[in-house]
Structure 1
Amino acid sequence: MENLKGKNIVITGASGGIGAEVAKLCAAQGANLVLLARTMDKLQKMKHDLEGNSHAKVDIFQLDVSDTDKVKEIFTQVLKTIQHVDILVNNAGFGIFRAAHEATIEEIKGMFSVNVVGLMACTSMVLPGMRKRRSGHIINIASQAGKIATPKSSVYSATKHAVLGYTNALRMELADDNVHVTAVNPGPIATNFFTIADEKGTYVQNVQRFMLQPEYVAKKIVNAMHTRPREVNLPRWMNMGSVIHTLFPSLFERIGKRAFNQK
């Protein structure tokens, strides 16, 4: 078990949802936080609340991870401020649930720019320091959608498949550098993610009873900071679907077709 007290933890997409919940738990354990998000007023409120309720030091920076030039600029400032990063949580991301023929090029580019390229850009900024120090932990928030693609989320699933591919390769690249890489694959979470992803509300309605609470997911992510597992799959039973899909893909897709098309 690794104590988080005094650790420098950078969280992208930190202004709400599981990013905000992870920040609260890390602050309670005495970590030094760097919170990155697009909305500065939300970050300012978080900084005020977290520093008021704990002894954590909190720095905030406005960042849209899809702007790779800005990623370089902000992370350069971050590294000047805190010297090094112990843990990077790549949490920023969004999805839009549409059939493939309905997704616009702008939406496709937007999802890949944030979910994939942005994640890679942020990671590339901390890798040299982690490798030099032979210490660090990168946590990429992927999705169960990265293991099982479903109708009406073709683009979103593609981005999360890309995240898992990158994460798995990165883990092997860094194995001899003592830098750990963890993929977190949650199912649907009760956050404002679905305000954009599920405009009609039909998906949320159909999976309401299975939705995870952000506090629960955040607790599992922070636990992973201590134990540094290869993957965290939430809920565990849902991950069995990806195992069955790998073994019997045609059967799985045929049987699951009706349920998947309820999205």
Structure 2
Amino acid sequence: MDRWLNRVAVVTGASSGIGVACCKDLVAKGMVVVGLARREERLQELKASLPADQAKRFHAHKCDVSDEKQVIETFAWVDKNLGGADVLINNAGVMPTTEITIPDNSAVLRSILETNVLGVSWCTREAFLSLQRRKVNDGHIVIINSVLGHKVPVFPGVGFHMYAPSKHAVTALTEVLRQEFQNKGTQTKITSVSPGGVDTEMTQRFKEFSPNSPFLRPEDVADAVTYCIQTPPNVQIHELTIKPIGEKA
């Protein structure tokens, strides 16, 4: 992690779960971290929980990644105040329970795609354009995907609805972005990290239906992210799947 000391990482969805774990891990390893989330009070709680030396390197910034204008303004703020993001962890995601085949659900379905797909696209675009403008050639984009972005299992009592299609889109998006980065002659890396079940606010209903199922900790996923971004310059982990021991799906 030496090459990332005092460089800037932006983490979306930083108010809970995997986002919090990534912020804590990266700032503890010497990075300057910008945590983005809609729930600004949660970000302030996170900052207050950090040791003083780490809290100085953590910046809380309210941003709803499903709003393109907010994303553009946020990355402009990072450029102006911190010199620009070198690492982006696209973690923000939503998983409403609305079935696709029920009436009057357009707003919910749209919100899933706007956060899980368009939000990732907008954040990645703004981070990459900043890297290009600053002539930074070794940036790293990480997308927190899901095993549901590769296969949709049957989970009794719980449906995955539009969440699984959104994560399949993210899988394709990762490859498209890899090709675009390569075609532009940059060494910027992109990695999709696909966890199985993770013990977060989002997965509580799964635990209710299957209380004995194993789950990863958010810190396990944060460890995987750190592993991916510290690979040598010639190594790109394009896809990393991480599951808890005993997961059946």
Q: TM-score, normalised by structure 1?
A: 0.82
Q: Distance in 2 between matches of 1:162 and 1:127?
A: 19
Identical positions, percent = 29
User: Which one has the bigger helix percentage?
Assistant: 1
Q: Is structure 2 residue 175 aligned with structure 1 residue 168?
A: yes
Q: Kindly provide the amino acid, as one letter, of the partner of residue 142 in structure 2.
A: I
Query: Equivalent residue for 1:210?
Result: 214
Partners of 2:246 and 2:85 in 1: how far apart? 32
**Is the contact made by 2:214 and 2:246 (CA closer than 8 Å) also made in structure 1?**
no
By how many angstroms is 1:150 displaced? 3.9
Distance 1:221 1:238, change over 3 A: farther
1:102 is paired with a residue of what secondary structure? coil
Question: C-alpha offsets along residues 86-145 of structure 1, whole Å, 9 cap, x if unaligned?
Answer: 100000001124543137212111100100111111111111222332220000011100
**RMSD of aligned C-alpha atoms?**
2.3
Shift of 1:210: 2.6
Preserved CA contact (<8 Å) 1:194 1:204: no
**Pair 1:48-2:57 in alignment:** no
Q: Which moved more, 1:70-79 or 1:208-217?
A: 208-217
Q: Could you give the per-residue CA deviations for residues 186-219 of structure 1, whole angstroms, max 9, x where no partner exists?
A: 1111100125xx3xx5x64327423111111111
Tell me if 1:124 matches 2:159: no
Q: May I ask how many residue pairs the two structures share in their alignment?
A: 236
1:220-259 equivalences under 5 Å are 220-227=224-231, 228-235=236-243
User: How far did 1:31 drift?
Assistant: 0.6
Distance 1:238 1:177, change over 3 A: farther
Q: How much has 1:51 moved relative to structure 2?
A: 4.8
Equivalent residues in 2 for 1:178-197 (5 A)?
178-195=187-204
Q: Give deviations 1:137-185, integer Å, cap 9, x for gaps.
A: 0000111000002452131111001111111110121123000000010
* Structure 2 Cα separation of the partners of residues 52 and 135 of structure 1: 29
Structure 1 distance, partners of 2:215, 2:98, is: 20
Moved more, 182-191 or 75-84: 75-84
Match of 1:113 in 2: 114
Give 2:171's aligned amino acid.
Answer: L
SS, match of residue 123 in structure 2 = helix
Query: What residue ranges of structure 1 are gaps of 5+ in the alignment?
Result: 240-258
Equivalent pair of 1:13/1:19 in contact (CA under 8 Å): yes
* Correspondence 1:139 to 2:154: no
The whole-number CA distance in structure 2 between the counterparts of 1:149 and 1:83 is 41
1:18 deviation in Å? 0.8
Q: Distance in 2 between matches of 1:219 and 1:204?
A: 27
Gaps of 5+ in 2: none
Following the alignment from structure 2 to structure 1, what is the Cα–Cα distance between the partners of residues 102 and 200? 24
**1:146·1:160 contact (CA, 8 Å) conserved in 2?**
yes
- The answer as to whether partners of 1:12 and 1:92 remain within 8 angstroms in 2 is yes
Q: Deviations over 1:67-99 (max 9, x none)?
A: 111111122111111112110000000112454
CA distance, structure 2, for counterparts of residue 238 and residue 170 of structure 1: 33
Normalising by structure 2, report the TM-score.
0.86
Label 1:236 to 1:193 Cα distance change in 2 as closer, same or farther (>3 A).
closer
User: Hey, what does 2:76 align to over in structure 1?
Assistant: 76
